[in-house]
């Protein structure tokens, strides 16, 4: 797989991220590293948001409609895949800037 394909695969769950990281770590260019950072940050935010929303829904069942915020994460994931497909180093909207200079192990 080339780096463009690996950049797109990185957004497909944590398993996809692991595949992209392990297959591309020796031949990674700036594009792949950028999208690995963005997708890992998005996965972390997704997990944290899910945990917070589950706690809120258990405490106040009337607020369970907040689970619809999960669709926002799906939209951000799709936008990340589109950016990777276009070979653009654009951050994922809303949260992408936070992860541009994090995860130095990548």
For the chain, the average pLDDT equals 90
How confident is the model over 46-84, as pLDDT tens digits? 999 999 988 988 898 888 788 788 888 899 999 999 999
User: Does pTM top 0.75 for this prediction?
Assistant: yes
Residue 91, pLDDT > 90, answer yes
What is d(CA 81, CA 8) in angstroms, rounded to the nearest whole number? 5
Q: How deeply is 80 buried, as exposed, middle or buried, from its count of CB atoms within 10 A (0-12, 13-18, 19+)?
A: buried
What is d(CA 3, CA 87) in angstroms, rounded to the nearest whole number? 9
């Amino acid at each position: 797989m080339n780096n463009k394909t690996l950049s797109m695969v990185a957004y497909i769950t944590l398993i996809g991220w692991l595949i992209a990281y392990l297959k591309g770590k020796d031949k990674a260019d700036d594009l792949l590293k950028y999208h690995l950072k963005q997708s890992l940050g998005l996965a972390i935010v997704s997990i944290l948001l899910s945990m917070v929303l589950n706690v809120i829904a258990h405490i106040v069942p009337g607020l369970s409609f907040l689970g619809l915020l999960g669709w926002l994460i799906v939209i951000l994931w799709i936008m990340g895949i589109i950016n990777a497909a276009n070979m653009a180093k654009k951050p994922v909207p809303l949260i992408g800037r936070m992860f541009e200079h994090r995860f130095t192990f990548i």
